[in-house]
């Protein structure tokens, strides 16, 4: 049957205030600084940014479901990063034929087929895997809060083998060769990072973490000068 990659984006579980954002830029500014900027902008309007994001209860039950649907053991290779673009390299590394993606976004590329000509990034890695014939099939399982629909990617759906199943549609006991869990810090708020670490640990197996900036979220500890600095970024 070939090797299979299970790729999970943390934003699958989060109601995203910026769910329609498809920026491909991931750096300290978008992952950390802009969250403070948004927080203080909302605060100046008498609003609480943190109340605009909710974590689905599915996060607590997720690994139990995955271990019933998929087949993997303590020897499975597990990677954790901030950027989802790493899935492209992992799929190549383990010669994967299929990708099972749990995400609020398809990561097929935004802007039609021309977006697959852009450099590899968090928004097009899955589309580029298909275009470059690195994998044969993509199975995209959308999160409960997604704003996307399969018909948004009609051109790619016609060219490549792409399916959009629900969890209940998935075949049981599909063997998983590697797992990638990404935080997508530009889309997921830093005050949920503790829950993210809990989520990773609940898998019960060892993992390798790479390029995942630690975010210390504490806006109350910032001076007025700090607040102004963030607002000016």
Residue 20 confidence (pLDDT):
47
Please tell me the distance from the alpha carbon of residue 29 to that of residue 51, in angstroms, as a whole number: 22
The pairing of strands 3-9 and 96-103 is parallel
Is the pLDDT score of 60 beyond 60? Answer: yes
Mean pLDDT across 162-182? 94
Is the pLDDT score of 230 beyond 50? Answer: yes
- Are 174 and 44 in contact by the 8 Å Cβ rule? The answer is no
Cβ neighbours, 10 Å, residue 22: 17
Is the pLDDT score of 22 beyond 60? Answer: no
Share of the chain above pLDDT 90, in %: 82
The pairing of strands 3-9 and 178-182 is parallel
- Count how many Cα atoms sit within 13 Å of the Cα of residue 102 in the half-sphere of its side chain: 25
């Amino acid at each position: 049957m070939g090797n299979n990659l299970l790729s999970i984006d943390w934003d699958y579980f989060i109601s995203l205030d910026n769910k329609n954002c498809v920026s491909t830029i991931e750096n300290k500014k978008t992952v950390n600084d802009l969250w403070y900027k948004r927080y203080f902008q909302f605060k100046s309007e008498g609003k609480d940014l943190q109340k605009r994001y909710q974590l689905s209860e599915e996060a607590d039950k997720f690994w139990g479901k995955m271990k019933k649907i998929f087949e993997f053991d303590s020897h499975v290779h597990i990677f954790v990063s901030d950027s989802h673009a790493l899935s492209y390299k992992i799929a190549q590394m383990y010669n994967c034929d299929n990708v099972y993606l749990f995400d609020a976004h398809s990561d097929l590329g935004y802007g039609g087929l021309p977006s697959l000509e852009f450099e590899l990034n968090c928004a097009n890695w899955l589309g580029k895997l298909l275009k470059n014939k690195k994998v044969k099939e993509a199975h995209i399982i959308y999160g409960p809060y997604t704003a996307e629909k399969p018909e948004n990617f009609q051109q790619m759906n016609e060219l490549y083998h792409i399916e959009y199943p629900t969890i209940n549609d998935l075949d049981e006991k599909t063997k998983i060769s590697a797992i990638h869990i990404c935080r997508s810090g530009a889309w997921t708020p830093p005050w949920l990072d503790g829950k993210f670490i809990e989520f990773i640990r609940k898998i019960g197996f060892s993992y390798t973490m790479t390029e995942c900036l630690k975010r210390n979220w504490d806006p109350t500890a910032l001076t007025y000068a700090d607040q102004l600095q963030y607002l000016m970024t």
